[in-house]
């Protein structure tokens, strides 16, 4: 029944999807946290940059961002990220594009968590002589992260599915393999079912784990 899978590296394609997700998730969390700090910071220029970045990037289709990384950064500006290998360069460009896009949603999720922290806590910390960075890193962000575990899980699940867009620049992940199989095989329904099941296997445990984690670390108000 599944003989059509022979000759295709299905596990390898999904492993590329996992690597895209993991690297992009780490990068998005770092950049998204910095953007959230800018958006609530005391410096008008940084607030303006954070606001502009989020409002612009989250309203641009991800496909355009991914294609721009290839046509704009690589082919026009010659950005190679230290590699001459076509597949490696495109993989790194896809990670960059996914980080640029997903970090806008991470930022907004974190900003909503920051808004749940009582203002009096920040004022008390400032009264003790802590700087803005200390207040944010020691008092505000730990509570904010605990408040938005669920929303961040949704962002991570969306990121996992968004990795399929990397096929637009030739990254050998699951969606590109599915396209190749559809072109060469006749079992279209079975192919779709196999890849749908693969993404369910990747995303459902993530949702269940973060759902459990959000209950464990929830801030009691």
Question: For residue 178, what is the domain's CATH number?
Answer: 1.10.3720.10
| Structural domains of the chain, count | 1
Scanning the structure block, which residue is given the tokens 């969606």?
175
pLDDT at 62: 94
Q: What percent of the chain shows pLDDT beyond 90?
A: 46
Q: Give the model confidence (pLDDT) of 83-115 as tens digits.
A: 778 788 899 999 999 999 999 999 999 999 998
Where on the phi/psi map is residue 66: left (φ > 0), alpha (ψ -120 to 50), or beta? alpha
pLDDT at 182: 86
Under a CB-based contact definition with an 8 Å cutoff, are residues 121 and 139 in contact? Answer: yes
Structural domain of residue 139, as residue ranges?
3-217
Q: How far apart are CA 152 and CA 149, in angstroms?
A: 5
Residue 6 burial class via C-beta count within 10 angstroms: exposed 0-12, middle 13-18, buried 19 and up = exposed
pTM of the model: 0.90
């Amino acid at each position: 029944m599944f003989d059509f899978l022979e000759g295709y590296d299905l596990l390898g394609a999904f492993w590329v999807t996992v690597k895209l997700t993991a690297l992009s998730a780490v990068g998005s969390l770092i950049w998204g946290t910095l953007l959230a700090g800018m958006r609530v910071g005391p410096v008008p220029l940084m607030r303006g940059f954070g606001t502009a970045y989020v409002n612009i990037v989250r309203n641009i289709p991800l496909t355009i961002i991914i294609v721009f990384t290839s046509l704009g950064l690589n082919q026009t500006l010659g950005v190679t990220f230290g590699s001459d290998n076509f597949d490696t360069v495109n993989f790194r460009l896809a990670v960059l594009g996914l980080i640029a896009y997903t970090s806008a949603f991470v930022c907004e999720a974190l900003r909503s968590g920051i808004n749940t922290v009582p203002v009096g806590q920040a004022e008390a910390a400032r009264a003790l002589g802590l700087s803005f960075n200390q207040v944010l890193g020691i008092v505000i962000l730990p509570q904010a992260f605990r408040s938005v575990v669920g929303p961040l899980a949704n962002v991570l699940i969306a990121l996992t599915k968004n990795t399929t867009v990397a096929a637009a620049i030739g990254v050998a992940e699951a969606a590109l393999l599915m396209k190749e199989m559809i072109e060469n095989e006749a079992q279209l329904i079975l192919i779709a079912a196999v890849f749908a099941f693969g993404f369910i296997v990747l995303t459902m445990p993530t949702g269940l784990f973060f759902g459990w984690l959000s209950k464990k670390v929830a801030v009691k108000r």
